[in-house]
Amino acid sequence: MSLTVVGSIAFDAVRTPFGERERMLGGAAVHFALAASFFDEVRVVGPVGDDFGEDEYAVLRDRGVVTDDIEQVAGGKTFFWSGVYSENLNARETLETELNVFEAFEPKLSDASRDCDVLFLANIVPDLQIGVREQCDKARFVALDSMDLWMNIARDSLDRAIRMVDCVILNDEELEQLTGRPNVLTAAREVLSWGPAAVVAKLGKYGAALVTADGFFALPAFPMETVVDPTGAGDSFAGGFVGYVAAHPGEEIAHGLLTRAMAYGTAIASYNVQEFGTERVARLTPDEIAGRVADLERMTRFEDMPVALRG
Binding footprint of ligand AMP on the chain (CB under 6 A): 8, 10, 12, 26-28, 81, 97, 123-124, 231-235
Mapping DSSP to helix (H, G, I), strand (E, B) and coil, where does residue 179 land? helix
The least CB distance from residue 213 to ligand AMP, in Å, is 27
Residue partners of 208: CB distance under 8 A and separation at least 6: 200, 201, 202, 218, 219, 221, 237, 262, 265, 266
- Between 196 and 234, CB nearer to ligand AMP: 234
Alpha-carbon radius of gyration of the chain = 19
- Between 162 and 233, CB nearer to ligand AMP: 233
The least CB distance from residue 301 to ligand AMP, in Å, is 28
- Between 28 and 211, CB nearer to ligand AMP: 28
- Between 1 and 147, CB nearer to ligand AMP: 147
> Looking at 132-268, which runs of residues are DSSP E strands?
141-144, 167-171, 198-202, 208-212, 215-219
- Between 9 and 253, CB nearer to ligand AMP: 9
The least CB distance from residue 214 to ligand AMP, in Å, is 27
- Between 71 and 115, CB nearer to ligand AMP: 71
Q: Which residue number is nearest to ligand AMP in terms of Cβ? A: 26
The CA-CA-CA angle for residues 91, 291, 305, to 5°, reads 90
Q: How far apart are CA 292 and CA 222, in angstroms?
A: 8
Residue partners of 104: CB distance under 8 A and separation at least 6: none
The least CB distance from residue 157 to ligand AMP, in Å, is 15
The least CB distance from residue 112 to ligand AMP, in Å, is 24
Please state whether beta strands 41-48 and 10-16 pair in parallel, antiparallel, or not at all (unpaired).
unpaired
The least CB distance from residue 212 to ligand AMP, in Å, is 23
The least CB distance from residue 228 to ligand AMP, in Å, is 13
Q: How far apart are CA 84 and CA 92, in angstroms?
A: 6
Residue partners of 3: CB distance under 8 A and separation at least 6: 36, 39, 40, 41, 42, 43, 116, 117, 118, 119, 120, 242, 243, 246
Mapping DSSP to helix (H, G, I), strand (E, B) and coil, where does residue 5 land? strand
Mapping DSSP to helix (H, G, I), strand (E, B) and coil, where does residue 80 land? strand
- Between 196 and 265, CB nearer to ligand AMP: 265
